[in-house]
Amino acid sequence: MSRYRSVIIGLSGIGANRPPEPEGLPIYGAVARSHTSAYHRCPDTELVAVCDLDDERRNDCLERWKDVWPDLKGYTDYREMFDVEKPDIVSVATSDHLHADMVVEAAERKIPMIVCEKPIATTLDDADRMIAAAEANGVLLSVEHSRRWHPSFLQARELIRGGELGEARTVTTEMFSQRAMLFRNGTHAIDMMIFLAQGDPAWVTAQLEDGFEHFTEYKSDGGHDPTTDPYVSAYVRFANDVRGFVNFMKVDLPGSQWTVTCDGGRIEVSDRELKVVTGGSYREWSETPYPVDQYVHQHFGGFVPEIIHVHENGGGLVSPATEARKTLELMLGMLKSHELGNSRVDFPLS
């Protein structure tokens, strides 16, 4: 079988990093943590070209990966790259506010598989034209909210769906670090809250980081400087009556976690662990840890084989653009709530 020709636009760390290979494991290799490493770990693809306006980034990428793809080409114009390379898959890994034109161009050229970095866009108009272009041209558009391919988070959702703990009542998402930025890392946390709540946001109230009264629309620099993108505290009511709590703070303590409270227990999940907490009484709680297994197709390593599988066999994506739009709309609703003095904002946004 011929391999799918793949290209990447945007060569920052998320696009082009190469994880160190673990010592003593020459066969298995490191888990993918970037778009280039995701294609490296998928034998059904061949990365044929990359694109970035920055000469240093582009040349560094070609040098970093030359032992894997000695014929890898570099471009400064993604349209020229599309013309010459005729790709089957394109990754758009540029700054947050620059995704739309590139995705629409790829869709209108009928490139069959498109992977877009999160957030899908920074305005609903951009998200809608991306979705419309993909649907009109019959192409797949997956958005890289990477925890949707993480086994612990998938297992957490199955625990909720299984019903053994009763109905899900609340979902809390917490993110702490100096990069607890709403549109950069925060989009992961909010998307996973929606994923675990398994419902559509109905309304929200929110308060942004102090000093961001001007942030009534996206005004960051593409996700680079934390001082340009606020943290947020928010309360979300979902249409299925689940209540969501968002707790971000820019502090030195790093990490993020999600807690789902059900009638009969609590699920705690993070990149580090998954456990279920139950209690027979106020003072007696028990914890059941679930092993955090490692798989080849997880995190970044999940989106490439999945989109190929759906392309070949049909079915749905775990992180389609329509789901990513919900995350964007919720974040924009938080901005509107803050602008209105932390007032309730209903969805859909008018």
Same-domain status, 143 and 154: no
Going by pLDDT thresholds of 50, 70 and 90, the confidence category of residue 293 is low
pLDDT score of 1 more than 60? no
Same-domain status, 133 and 178: no
Residue 286, judged by CB atoms within 10 A of its CB (0-12, 13-18, 19+), counts as: exposed
Number of domains in the chain: 2
- Contact in structure between 187 and 244 (CB atoms under 8 Å): no
**What's the sign of the alpha-carbon dihedral 131, 135, 141, 145?**
positive
Q: What is the mean pLDDT of the chain?
A: 94
Same-domain status, 142 and 266: no
Same-domain status, 36 and 93: yes
- Which CATH number characterizes residue 284's domain? 3.30.360.10
pLDDT of residue 2: 66
- Weakest mean pLDDT among 25-34, 95-104, 269-278: 25-34
Same-domain status, 130 and 179: no
pLDDT of residue 27: 47
pLDDT of residue 33: 78
Same-domain status, 120 and 161: no
Q: pLDDT tens-digit profile of 68-104?
A: 999 999 999 999 999 999 999 999 999 999 999 999 9
Same-domain status, 11 and 56: yes
Same-domain status, 246 and 211: yes
Same-domain status, 113 and 251: no
The type of residue at 23 is E
pLDDT score of 142 more than 90? yes
pLDDT of residue 211: 97
Going by pLDDT thresholds of 50, 70 and 90, the confidence category of residue 29 is low
Measured CA distances, 143 to 289, 324, 326 (Å): 30, 7, 12
pLDDT of residue 283: 81
Q: What is the Cα–Cα distance from 150 to 147, expressed in whole angstroms?
A: 5
pLDDT of residue 282: 77
Tell me what percent of the residues of the chain surpass a pLDDT of 70. 94
* Span 169-184, average pLDDT: 97
Which residues make beta-bridge pairs with 126?
none
The domain containing residue 29 runs over which residues?
Answer: 4-147+297-319
pLDDT score of 295 more than 60? no
Going by pLDDT thresholds of 50, 70 and 90, the confidence category of residue 19 is confident
Q: What is the Cα–Cα distance from 11 to 94, expressed in whole angstroms?
A: 8
Same-domain status, 180 and 243: yes
Q: pLDDT tens-digit profile of 229-244?
A: 999 999 999 999 999 9
Same-domain status, 20 and 108: yes
Return the ∠ at Cα 317 (arms to 308 and 95), rounded to 5°. 85
Q: What is the Cα–Cα distance from 168 to 243, expressed in whole angstroms?
A: 9
Same-domain status, 38 and 108: yes
**HEC states along 246-293?**
EEEECCCCCEEEEEEEECCEEEEEECCCEEEEEECCCCCEEEEEECCC
- Tokens matching residue 118: 């999160």
* Span 245-253, average pLDDT: 97
Q: pLDDT tens-digit profile of 36-57?
A: 999 998 999 999 999 999 999 9
